[in-house]
Amino acid sequence: MTLNLDKIDDQQLLKNTEALVKQERSITIFLLAHLDEIESRRLYAELGHSSLFSYCIKKLGYSESEAYLRIAVMRLSRSLPEIKEWISTGDITISNVVITIQSIKRQEKISGENLALEEKRALLAAVSKKSTRAAKQLLEAIEDKKRADQQAKSAPPLSLLMPPAADELTPYTTTTTATTITTTSELIFSGVSGGNSGNSGSCGSGAPAADEILPPWSKAVLLYKVEVSSAVLEKMATLKNLAGNYSDCELLELALQKTIESYTKPSVNQHRQNHTLTPSPQNNHSRYIPQSVRQEVRARAKDRCEYISPITGERCEEVHNLEFDHCQPFAGGGENNVTNLRLYCRTHNLLVAKNTLGKEKMDQYWHVKN
């Protein structure tokens, strides 16, 4: 489309531009609402995408940063719907919302606890009507202050960071209780942080002295060295890209937490196994998939999700969170052989399970993020 703006006078040109900016903001709000609804319905899965992020890039043509930006704002607006109003009036830009979201994550990491909704709202209000540069400076100052407060509250003196001798460990591990530790911990760290808070009065009421209870190295930050392969580095980079602005330490903790959860939550396959559609003709056949079969299926799939959307005909090709899925359910007598197994990502394993078992049963496994 070509626009011939030569004939429009200056005033009209400026007026039209302002009107277009208003329209652009309104369209942004509509777009966020649509992305929200698509994620709630998981329509991206039906179309052969493993996530809303993937759908935004492959189907809608956004760059990774454009997709991340819109999805991050959309998810925060679920708990703070007024963000949409602020964007539509121009009080806050999407960029400033995103850097605030990133700062919220860092602040929560610093303090070890989630920010309340009111605190998030206050941060967004603080960066409204500011340039992105000014907003960044403000948020960094807030983080620095929080970091300093946290360090003052929790850091033991340098002398306490020295590793204990072996014979010093025994008294700390034998006779204390959780209640005593909590109480004394507060005394220790309030005592060493402020300098002039008067810790001598607090400790004189019969409670054991701090150094009798807690191992002095218990709050130390440890340097943990480990050799990793290039595959691990690639996964770290991918996770950093998907999860946002985390440090390597935070990413590792996030990955460990997700792995632990995957072991402690009931798996979809377990759920499907319990829901026998038809009696299995081979109730004693093993769920174990032989290594050779796994390798052959992985080779056929080229280590990518094999789901093909019946709507678009497009294959998913996700490379993360891959699981083996039975074409004919195991509980219905399906065999663990190459022709009956397919490699699906988590999203499409859940989609197939939902189509088999019903939306109500599977909704507990679909989590819409905030």
Catalog residues that contact Zn ion under the rule CB under 5 A. 50, 305, 307, 316, 318, 345, 348
Q: Which is nearer to Zn ion, 83 or 345 (CB)?
A: 345
Question: What are the backbone dihedrals phi and psi of residue 174, each rounded to the nearest 5 degrees, phi first?
Answer: -110, -45
H or E segment at 162? none
In this structure, the number of other CB atoms found within 10 A of the CB of residue 27 comes to 11
Q: Which is nearer to Zn ion, 32 or 345 (CB)?
A: 345
Give the residue among 62, 61, 67, 72 at the shortest CA–CA distance from 96: 72
Q: Which is nearer to Zn ion, 106 or 326 (CB)?
A: 326
Distance, CA of 140 to CA of 143 (rounded, Å):
5
Give the residue among 41, 40, 70, 37 at the shortest CA–CA distance from 53: 70
Find the shortest distance in angstroms from Cβ 367 to Zn ion.
17
Beta bridge partners of 343: 324
Q: Which is nearer to Zn ion, 189 or 307 (CB)?
A: 307
Find the shortest distance in angstroms from Cβ 266 to Zn ion.
21
From the CA atom positions of the chain, what is the Rg in Å?
27
Q: Which is nearer to Zn ion, 153 or 315 (CB)?
A: 315
Burial class for 155, CB neighbours closer than 10 Å (0-12, 13-18, 19+): middle
Distance, CA of 241 to CA of 230 (rounded, Å):
16
Distance, CA of 283 to CA of 114 (rounded, Å):
47
Question: What are the backbone dihedrals phi and psi of residue 19, each rounded to the nearest 5 degrees, phi first?
Answer: -65, -40
Distance, CA of 129 to CA of 91 (rounded, Å):
5
Find the shortest distance in angstroms from Cβ 98 to Zn ion.
27
DSSP string for residues in 111-127: HTSPPPHHHHHHHHHHH
Q: Which is nearer to Zn ion, 48 or 216 (CB)?
A: 48
